């Protein structure tokens, strides 16, 4: 019986030692897994913080670009307004030039009439000078170059046709 008890004790000691070793290994594995989980939680928090930071940056960039777009639209509207004013001024100057050209043509006709009267010694008659200047025709040609429904360039050509 002593042998039996001795054998039983030995077996129990072996089982306890084995179970103690398994328990130690399980505790070590559990500790390792806790460290891994903790590390992953830290990584997850870092990723969440990074996500929030990136979303804030994206929002700031979007707002900055929206402000720049507003500024550029303001500049564009201002430039379009200036362009319209410049075109209107150019048209006004072209009309003024045309009027001055008409006056010049009439004056040249009068001068030519006066010269011919002086050279030929004919009697002077103002009606003849006016009739000659009125018989002249002015031909005006305007060419527009249109791209994407906008006038890109405009060319005015004025010719005096004598009759």
Domain that holds residue 105: 2-161
Over residues 42-56, the mean pLDDT reads 98
d(CA 20, CA 12): 12
Three-state DSSP state, 57: helix
- The reported pLDDT for the residue numbered 152 is 65
d(CA 158, CA 105): 12
Over residues 50-59, the mean pLDDT reads 98
**% of residues, the chain, pLDDT over 70:** 76
The two structure tokens encoding residue 22: 């398994």
How many structural domains comprise the chain? 1
d(CA 49, CA 150): 50
pLDDT digits 0-9 by tens, 93-144: 999 999 999 999 999 999 999 998 888 865 545 555 555 555 556 666 777 6
d(CA 142, CA 161): 17
């Amino acid at each position: 019986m002593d042998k039996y008890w001795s054998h039983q004790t030995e077996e129990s000691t072996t089982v306890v030692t084995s179970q103690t070793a398994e328990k130690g290994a399980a505790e070590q594995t559990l500790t390792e897994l806790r460290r891994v989980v903790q590390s992953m939680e830290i990584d997850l928090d870092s990723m969440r913080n990074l996500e929030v930071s990136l979303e804030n940056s994206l929002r700031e960039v979007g707002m900055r670009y929206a402000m720049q777009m507003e500024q550029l639209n303001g500049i564009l509207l201002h430039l379009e307004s200036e362009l319209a004013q410049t075109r209107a001024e150019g048209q006004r100057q072209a009309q003024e030039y045309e009027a001055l050209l008409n006056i010049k043509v009439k004056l040249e006709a009068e001068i030519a009439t006066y010269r011919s009267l002086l050279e030929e010694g004919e009697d002077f008659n103002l009606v003849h000078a006016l009739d000659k200047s009125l018989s002249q025709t002015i031909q005006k040609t305007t060419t527009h170059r249109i791209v994407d429904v906008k006038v890109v360039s405009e060319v005015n050509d004025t010719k005096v046709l004598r009759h």
